[in-house]
């Protein structure tokens, strides 16, 4: 890496060499080219005698065809199309090395175009639930604590309530009544209407008991143990982790009061903020890569599953959601992170480091090495950019050697005549 002062001295040296070379031929005896006193051109004869071929005129100052000399004709950069180039001659064979220019070839591989945005982690709302008391009563037992992992339908608490005891007793009584009515009807002692009434009352009582979480098998079992207290077992709706607890043993709770919160953290939500200008490139189903400062050196991949239908009027951002697998549980709700939404993936792409590309007159150029002191300023067409890498769509072959680092001195040499150090025009 060269310092700024070294670079300035080198640039002045290159300018001085260029001026010295141009003025060296200022008084040459070829008067028919007096308008180009900074360098001389040799002429190649065209097909007809006495005519010259402009395409064959040589710039003796830089030893390249005049039509290809980027130093003499820097304005030609404005007209370059991908694959077209201008020659850039350096003052000496070791000029590029002194300027720190490094060369190499591009790589062929996969390149993903992405959008960067911030994110905040949240629980998967489809796997987050509050466990509430179905009826009012007294908590007799608490079976789990914060951080415990529970399975689906696992008992987390037991509640006693007069309402529960009354509902179960009614279900047991109607079941016994139904059995008696069936026997009597079989003996033709009672009417069909009495049997139907008994069946309806039993169905209603069982429905209420099932609402409380009891099955018909439970009701039958309670009928054989009439002296035992009846407890309502509160169960987890799905497998997960207890993340909130709001109950203790002996507490009097009302119906609907939250007792626990359970979350399945196998998949977390990353809530993204996407700039309005990037929304046209975003689609559901795209791959999202997440990095969290609290977990350095590790990234997590997920899928974009939702994009908001509106943009925030103040921030001009749109909310979006990505689902991120979290098998080992290291991701936690309300963590902040950075995400990349992969909007396009190029396969078998020609890839160059960003330092190899220089913008001149709004056109991307790369500098292709032809000799130690000769480079081509080649116009290229760029595709996706990922980090510090560019995809080259046209204008360059994979085997061509280009300046991949410290290419700015080559750009300066190309534009040196605009600084007054190119050809010395009279």
250 and 130 co-located in one domain: yes
CATH code at position 177: 2.40.50.100
Average pLDDT, 10 consecutive residues per value, the chain (426 residues): 49 46 40 38 36 61 84 86 91 90 90 89 97 91 96 94 78 84 84 87 81 72 72 92 96 94 97 95 95 93 97 96 96 96 86 92 91 93 84 92 92 77 44
Q: Which of 295, 317, 346 is the last residue of a domain?
A: 346
> At CB < 8 A and 24+ separation, what contacts does 190-198 make?
198/174
Of 360, 372, 352, 382, the residue nearest 71 (C-alpha) = 360
In whole angstroms, what is the distance from residue 260 CA to residue 264 CA?
A: 13
306 and 352 co-located in one domain: no
In whole angstroms, what is the distance from residue 54 CA to residue 68 CA?
A: 11
Q: How many domains does the chain have?
A: 3
> Is 394 a member of any domain?
yes
CATH code at position 322: 2.40.30.170
Quickly tell me which residue has 């987890």 as its tokens.
236
Q: Which of 282, 313, 346 is the last residue of a domain?
A: 346
330 and 340 co-located in one domain: yes
* Range of the structural domain that residue 98 is part of: 4-109+347-419
> Is 426 a member of any domain?
no
In whole angstroms, what is the distance from residue 171 CA to residue 383 CA?
A: 73
251 and 233 co-located in one domain: yes
Residue 419: per-residue pLDDT: 61
Q: Which of 263, 282, 303 is the last residue of a domain?
A: 263
> Is 25 a member of any domain?
yes
The two structure tokens encoding residue 354: 């960003």
Helix (H, G, I), strand (E, B) or coil at 21: helix
Quickly tell me which residue has 């290291």 as its tokens.
330
Those residues with Cβ within 8 angstroms of residue 127's Cβ, 6 or more apart along the chain or in another chain: 238, 240, 263, 264, 266, 267
Identify any residues that bridge with 360 across adjacent strands, giving them in sequence order: 363
Of 368, 395, 411, the residue nearest 81 (C-alpha) = 395
The two structure tokens encoding residue 65: 């065809």
- Write out pLDDT tens, residues 307-322: 999 999 999 999 999 9
> Is 251 a member of any domain?
yes
- Write out pLDDT tens, residues 360-415: 888 899 999 999 999 999 999 998 787 788 989 999 999 999 999 999 999 988 88
> Is 189 a member of any domain?
yes
Cα 408 to the chain's mean position, in Å?
Answer: 31
104 and 32 co-located in one domain: yes
């Amino acid at each position: 890496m060269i310092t700024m002062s070294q670079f300035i001295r080198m640039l002045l040296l290159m300018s001085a060499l260029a001026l010295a070379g141009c003025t060296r031929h200022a008084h040459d005896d070829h008067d028919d080219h007096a308008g180009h006193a900074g360098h001389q051109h040799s002429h190649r004869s065209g097909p007809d005698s006495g005519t010259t071929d402009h395409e064959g005129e040589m710039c003796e100052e830089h030893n390249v065809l005049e039509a290809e000399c980027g130093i003499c004709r820097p304005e030609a950069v404005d007209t370059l199309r991908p694959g077209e180039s201008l020659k850039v001659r350096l003052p000496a064979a070791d000029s590029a090395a002194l300027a720190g220019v490094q060369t190499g070839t591009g790589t062929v591989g996969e390149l993903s175009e992405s959008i960067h945005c911030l994110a905040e982690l949240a629980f998967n709302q489809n796997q987050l639930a509050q466990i509430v008391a179905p009826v009012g009563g007294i908590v007799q037992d608490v079976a789990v604590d914060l951080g415990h992992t529970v399975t689906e339908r696992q008992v987390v608490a037991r509640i006693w309530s007069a309402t529960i005891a009354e509902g179960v007793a009614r279900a047991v009584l109607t079941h016994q009544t139904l059995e008696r009515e069936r026997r009597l009807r079989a003996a033709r002692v009672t009417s069909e209407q009495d049997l139907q009434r008994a069946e309806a009352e039993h169905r209603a009582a069982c429905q209420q008991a099932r609402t409380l979480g009891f099955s018909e098998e439970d009701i039958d079992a309670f009928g054989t143990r009439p002296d035992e207290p009846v407890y309502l077992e509160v169960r987890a709706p799905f497998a997960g982790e207890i993340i909130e607890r709001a109950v203790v043993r002996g507490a009097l709770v009302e119906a609907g009061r939250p007792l626990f919160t359970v979350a399945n953290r196998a998949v977390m939500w990353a809530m993204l903020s996407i700039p309005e200008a990037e929304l046209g490139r975003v689609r559901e189903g795209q791959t999202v890569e997440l990095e969290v400062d609290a977990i350095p050196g590790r990234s997590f991949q997920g899928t974009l599953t939702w994009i908001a239908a509106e943009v925030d009027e103040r921030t001009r951002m749109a909310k979006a959601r990505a689902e991120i697998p979290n098998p080992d549980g290291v991701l936690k709700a309300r963590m902040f992170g950075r995400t990349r939404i992969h909007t396009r993936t190029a396969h078998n792409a020609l890839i160059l480091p960003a330092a190899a590309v220089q913008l001149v007159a709004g056109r991307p150029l790369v500098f292709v090495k032809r000799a130690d002191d000769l480079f081509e300023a080649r116009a290229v067409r760029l595709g996706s950019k990922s980090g510090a890498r560019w995809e080259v769509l046209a204008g360059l072959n994979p085997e061509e050697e280009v300046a991949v680092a410290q290419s700015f001195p080559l750009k300066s040499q190309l534009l040196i005549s605009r600084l007054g150090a190119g050809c010395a025009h009279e």
